[in-house]
A and B are shown apart, each in its own frame.
Chain A
Amino acid sequence: MSLSPQNDADRNASVIDAERTLRLIATLPAPEGIADRVKSRLQDAPRKAGVIAWPSSVSGARWTQFAAMRAAAAAAIVIAVAGGAWELYTHIQIAPEPSAVATPQRMDGGHGGLSAAGAVRKPQTLDGPVVAAPAKSDEDKSDELLPKGNGAKPAGKKVRTPGLTQR
């Protein structure tokens, strides 16, 4: 796509104008005292990360004294750690290894598991469920064999007389 000279000039002018804005921002003065504030913050900043900060401003005459103290402190730490380790070593007794491992004998003759006590499960699903008839008591049986004294007969029941054949 070709642009007309007028459009091209407009585009260039707008870009130049935009670059002028960027240049204006790039030349803005910094706030007063920024260098002093940065320096004071640098002085407050920790110099170097360390677990223990040993005194750095020690004069030459006392340097050997500090070195001896550091050595003594290091030796004390080593002795404390070694003593603790020895204490643990002497108090903890490791159980001796058995010479042989005895396997417990099985009480069920080696079949494993619990015994079923000879019970055999017969599922009722093949022939259909069987409903057990209620068991008759002895009194009911004698009632059927002997006539009732009051002549009353139980409904739906046939009375059988001994010696007679029912037809």
Chain B
Amino acid sequence: MEIVDSAVHDKARQRAQEEALAALVDQYATTLFRVAFSVLHNQSDAEDAVQEAFLRVLRHRETLGEIRDHRVWLIRIVWNIVLDRKRRAKTRPETDDIAELGRVLPAAGLTAEQRAAAAQHHAHVLACVEQLPAREREVMMLSAFEELSSVEIAEVLDVTESSVRSRLFRARNLLAELLGHPRSIR
């Protein structure tokens, strides 16, 4: 019967989509978490963002077959989510970042004092990065992910590759000034 065949076909297709989605979660959940954490600096917020990203994928799972590069596509989704969350959230105090970094950064071979000093240093760097203009800051943060080439960063940000390079150049210059003279760029 045709209706029965269609129902069976729909069910099989739905099962295949769910398996594909589960495979994406297994493969990219960690990467997406790191991207989210680099912006939000908070573990639970970053995990929430990852879950939201996959929920969006679930809602548009019919388009999964049309995606050329799932990794860049997923990073772009989670990137937009975390930027949106960051815009809506209040500015976190630097002390929160220090505490969070002190908790999550690897501490092998470090004393408690060294670990605290390292966390403070990293938080200071992040605070300087936060003062960069948005476009330069985004390129700089994404360029820290070694698995992302400049072409892929351009795809995530929906700009050209040359824009990525020029923004990265400007970001480095501005960051050098900020690290030398904090709070001088607004």
Q: Is the CB of A23 within 8 A of B146?
A: yes
Q: Is the CB of A35 within 8 A of B29?
A: yes
**B116 contacts partner chain A, Cβ-Cβ < 8 Å:** no
Contacts A15-B179, A21-B126, A38-B25 hold; do A30 and B33 have CB atoms under 8 A apart?
yes
B50 interface neighbour in A27, A38, A67, Cβ under 8 Å? A38
Docked CA distance A63–B10 (Å): 14
Q: Is the CB of B145 within 8 A of A26?
A: yes
B30 interface neighbour in A11, A19, A30, A64, Cβ under 8 Å? A30
Docked CA distance A103–B78 (Å): 75
Kindly list chain B residues whose C-beta atoms are within 8 Å of the C-beta of A28.
34, 37, 104-105
Docked CA distance A27–B35 (Å): 9
Q: Is the CB of A34 within 8 A of B33?
A: yes
**B117 contacts partner chain A, Cβ-Cβ < 8 Å:** no
Kindly list chain B residues whose C-beta atoms are within 8 Å of the C-beta of A145.
none
Nearest opposing residue in chain A for B36, CB measure: A30
Chain B 132-160 interface residues, beta-carbon cutoff 8 Å to A: 140-141, 143-146
Interface size class of A (residues with CB under 8 A): 20 to 34
B47 interface neighbour in A10, A37, A56, A67, Cβ under 8 Å? A37
Contacts A31-B43, A60-B8 hold; do A37 and B126 have CB atoms under 8 A apart?
no
Q: Is the CB of B140 within 8 A of A22?
A: yes
Contacts A22-B140, A31-B47, A34-B33 hold; do A14 and B179 have CB atoms under 8 A apart?
yes
Interface size class of B (residues with CB under 8 A): 35 or more
**B26 contacts partner chain A, Cβ-Cβ < 8 Å:** yes
Chain B 18-73 interface residues, beta-carbon cutoff 8 Å to A: 21-22, 25-26, 29-30, 33-35, 37-38, 41, 43, 47, 50-51, 54-55, 58-59
Looking at chain B's contact residues, the main secondary structure is helix
Q: Is the CB of B3 within 8 A of A64?
A: yes
Docked CA distance A27–B106 (Å): 10
Q: Is the CB of B180 within 8 A of A38?
A: no
Docked CA distance A12–B122 (Å): 17
Contacts A25-B144, A34-B50, A60-B8 hold; do A45 and B55 have CB atoms under 8 A apart?
yes
A 23-49 to B, binary, CB cutoff 8 A, 1 in contact else 0: 111111111001101110110010010
**Which B residues fall within an 8 A CB radius of A?**
1, 3-4, 7-8, 11, 21-22, 25-26, 29-30, 33-35, 37-38, 41, 43, 47, 50-51, 54-55, 58-59, 101, 104-105, 121-122, 125-126, 128-129, 140-141, 143-146, 172, 175-176, 179-180
14 pairs across A/B with beta carbons < 8 Å? Answer: A19-B140, A22-B140, A22-B141, A23-B144, A25-B41, A25-B101, A27-B34, A30-B34, A34-B47, A35-B25, A38-B50, A41-B55, A42-B25, A48-B59
**Which A residues fall within an 8 A CB radius of B?**
10-12, 14-15, 17-19, 21-31, 34-35, 37-39, 41-42, 45, 48, 56, 58, 60, 63-64, 67
Task: Kindly list the 7 A-B residue pairs having the minimum CB-CB distance in the complex, ordered from nearest.
Answer: A22-B144, A60-B4, A11-B176, A30-B33, A14-B179, A30-B30, A26-B144
